[in-house]
Structure 1
Amino acid sequence: MNLEQLFLDNKEKTIEGRYLTLESIEPILKRINTNKQLSVVGESVQGRPIYKYVIGTGKTKIYLWSQMHGNESTTTKALFDFLNVLHNGSDLAKDLLANFTFCCLPMLNPDGATLYTRSNANEIDLNRDSQNLTQPESKVLRAVFEGFKPDFCYNLHDQRTIFGVADTGKPATVSFLAPSYNEEREINDSRQKAINLIAGMNAVLQEFIPGHIGRFDDSFNINCIGDTFQYLGVPTILFEAGHYPRDYEREITRKYIFIALVSSFKMLNENVIEINRTDDYLNIPQNKVVFYDFIYKNIKINYDGNEKITNFAAQYKEELVNGNINFNAYIAKVDDLEVFFGHEVFDAQGAMYEDQDENFPKLDQKANFCLNKKLNFVNGLIKK
């Protein structure tokens, strides 16, 4: 099967970019509501509907939810790409629909999606509310879990551009985690199933983006939903859609999340998951905070009357302005960058730094500056 072509043939073209709201996906949900698969299972803090979409008649039940964090939309796009596969009438679609029942909450946190925030409208991180269930969105997620009684849970997220694959210098484009179910991080039957499935997805993705797959930290936190569901005995997999070079809109990463989803269902359907792939799972390098969006090396500055050479880094902040996400670069670190990588690296070779302030890079200052009075940087990039 050509997974890249499958993606291209089924990509949901009405949604793209990072800012995905309920208004973005409601027309799609209504279009694919061909047999009353769609229902409203609750409301957000601000009264927006939380939709559930159930499709398939198979024995194996898969529970998927996305945009638990409102500003993490990549997996939502990939989820709709996959739902298009289920509606394309192919032999693959018929096979999956006959063997699986998919229960999807494509946007758990519609208020956060509108506000482009991680938290919900009450400024609560829903992924730390799995025990107290203080928020209406958390209660919906748990109620659907208890009613659906899934065989596998897919917890779909994005991660920031700061994460790399260990110290390899490669960004973590896709990362996985089989959450722990206890403080000792032991492996029981439930967690083993998640581990085996991740190992299988990793093997597939290595063919497309070798070295760009990471493994998330598995420290136990019962307040996290993945840890809770694993504790309750349901194999749970955390997906983290990360950075691919220059893919800040996450349209390329979207494809690899789609490939991971489809390959996981194929493996489950064909029952090709090995009994114990713990070593393969543990050999996936861990995520590590080692990246900045920009690193500038060998910059000459005048500091207290003395010229010196320094390095500094800038990082994008994703800021919602008039319904659009603006990537605005701010200086994030000065000096001590030896262990960090940049998605973009510029070697100034001793050029003199100037800006409109004190001619010295300062934290949280916009990354607008000049080198040797002729090379202008605006929003982190060379102005052409």
Structure 2
Amino acid sequence: MSISQSEYRSIKEKSVSGRYVVNEQILEFLEKNEEQLLIKTVGKSVQDREIKSLQLGNGPIKILMWSQMHGNESTTTKAVLDFVNFLNAGSASAKLILEQCTLLIIPILNPDGAAVYTRINANEVDLNRDAQNRTQPESVVLKNVFDGFKPNYCFNLHDQRTIFNVGRTPRPATVSFLAPAHDPERSISRTRGISMQLIVAMNQVLQEVIPGQVGRYDDGFNANCVGDSFQMLNVPTILFESGHYTEDYEREYTREYIFHAILQGVTVIAKNTIDNFQQDDYFKIPENGKLFVDVLIKNAHVIDSSLKNGEAIGVLYKETLKAGVIAFEPLVDKKGALVECYGHITYDCLNEANLNELRQQSFYQMIKG
């Protein structure tokens, strides 16, 4: 299921935008919606920030979602707030979901990481590699919520870097999915198969709005990853990865596509139509490649005498928090032939107009060397 762009705009949570999303914004959102949501403090972070959950719906099917396990991965948090607004707006589709499902959502699992815009928590631990030992309070919180709620489905919500493309194509992986493995052999259990079917359903909707821009994430098994560990416990779990859309470094377009994916996945669960989607179609979704740079400068020998004729420069942006705003700082990532490399922006130094435009960029002197 999907809704129109105008319908989406009507439920989009306008108080939260951009890449820097922190606990204070979530607390404001929860306070504004406290009459419609069951809100709990489910634990505290290393630095004693509250980790909140919200619950809505009264149905027998339990769906657990969590976002910002990595503090600098905020796109899905925005999409989740949009989804909550959709459910509270009272449409027939929303009422069906709330009658059939109970949803428990942790908007920000790692509020300390979110505050300083880092992947890791305040103890410099990647929470998505702490599923077994649970050395961190945030990891304990998630497992306690999982054990207490006993979900039938889990949505594990993340962002991915701008480097990812779809297959071998020059299309960015704007959204990627994974049905996590539950063993080293990557065998397909009943619950992993259900995860695959749900991904097929979500991909079907996304192909209507971002054709060719959905990828499949690597399914290498790691028991220390939360998705793999919950799949091991026989709960269908889906990894969502929010990626790049053209000229959308704030990920406001991607936010909308993630919303559509969540809505479709939950609707299929609520309607009990999972078996309408073929498990084998999961493998028709191309695997992610890593062929993108943010800026590709072709024939860069024109501006960099250390390069051979026809060689290129690839620039990646480093995301840095400065005064509450995310700055995108260009860094030279690679130089050479770069024959299998795509740029979100491309300049060809043999094209005079391209070269003149490149010279106007703030990073020109840096890449000139």
Change (3 A) 1:175 1:373: closer
CA distance in 2, matches of 1:380, 1:238: 38
Tell me, yes or no, if structure 1 residue 378 matches structure 2 residue 368: no
How far the C-alpha of 1:301 sits from its partner, in A, is 4.7
Q: Provide the residue aligned with 1:239 in structure 2.
A: 240
> Structure 1 residues 372 and 257, CA, compared in 2 at 3 Å: closer, same or farther?
closer
Structure 2: which amino acid aligns with 1:331? V
Offset of 1:219 from its aligned partner?
Answer: 0.6
| Greater CA drift, 149-158 or 332-341 | 332-341
**RMSD (CA atoms):** 2.0
Q: Give the match's secondary structure for 1:68.
A: coil
Deviations 1:132-183 (A, max 9, x none): 0000000000000000000000000000000000111100000000000000
Paired residues of 2:320 and 2:328 also in contact (CA < 8 A): yes
The one of the two structures with greater contact order (alpha-carbon pairs below 8 A, sep at least 6) is: 2
- Aligned partner of 1:256 in structure 2 is 257
Aligned ranges for residues 60-79 of structure 1 at < 5 Å? 60-79=61-80
| Greater Cα offset, 270-279 or 139-148 | 270-279
Partner in structure 1 of residue 212 of structure 2:
211
Q: Is the 8 A contact 2:37 2:56 kept in 1?
A: no
> What SS does the corresponding residue of 1:378 show, helix, strand or coil?
coil
Task: Supply the distance in 2 between the matched residues of 1:166 and 1:189 (Cα, whole angstroms).
Answer: 27
Q: Distance in 2 between matches of 1:374 and 1:21?
A: 35
Give the counterpart letter for 2:19 in structure 1.
R
- The 8 Å contact of residues 314 and 380 in structure 1, kept in 2 or not, is answered as no
For 2:281, the equivalent position in structure 1 comes to: 280
Any stretches of 5+ residues in structure 2 without a counterpart? none
User: What is the CA-CA distance between 1:92 and the residue it aligns to?
Assistant: 2.2
Whether 2:81 is the aligned partner of 1:97: answer: no
Verify: 1:22 aligned to 2:23, yes or no: yes
Give the TM-score normalised by structure 2. 0.94
Using the alignment, how far apart are the partners of 1:58 and 1:227 within structure 2? 26
> How many positions carry a matched residue from both structures?
362
2:157 aligns with: 156
User: 1:151/1:338 Cα in 2 relative to 1: closer, same or farther (>3 Å)?
Assistant: same
Deviations 1:52-94 (A, max 9, x none): 1111110000000000000000000000000001211222222
Match of 2:316 in 1: 315
Partner of 2:84: 83
Pair 1:334–1:26, CA change in 2 (3 A): same
Q: Deviations over 1:231-269 (max 9, x none)?
A: 000000000000001100000000000000111122112
- Conserved? CA contact 1:196–1:277, under 8 Å: yes
TM-score, normalised to structure 1, is 0.90
8 Å Cα contact 2:177-2:239 kept in structure 1: yes
Query: Does residue 55 of structure 2 align to residue 54 of structure 1?
Result: yes
4+ residue runs of structure 1 moved beyond 6 angstroms? none
Q: Give a deviation string over 1:296-339, Cα, whole Å, max 9, x none.
A: 011225647x9855310111111111111101111111113111
Contact 1:298 1:350 in 2 (8 A): no
Residue number in structure 2 paired with 1:108: 109
CA deviation after TM superposition for structure 1 residue 374, in Å: 9.5
Separation (CA, whole Å) in 1 of partners of 2:142 and 2:348: 48
Residue 361 of structure 1 corresponds to: none
Structure with max Cα Rg = 1
Change (3 A) 1:380 1:160: farther
Aligned CA distance change for structure 1 residues 199 and 226 (closer, same or farther; 3 Å): same
Displacement of 1:275: 6.6
Please say if residues 309 and 350 of structure 1, whose CA atoms lie closer than 8 Å, have aligned partners that are also in contact: no
Gaps in structure 1 of 5+ consecutive residues: 352-369
Partner residue, 2:120: 119
Instruction: After superposing the two structures, state which structure 1 stretch, 223-232 or 318-327, moved more.
Output: 318-327
Q: Which amino acid aligns with 2:55?
A: V
CA distance in 2, matches of 1:154, 1:168: 27
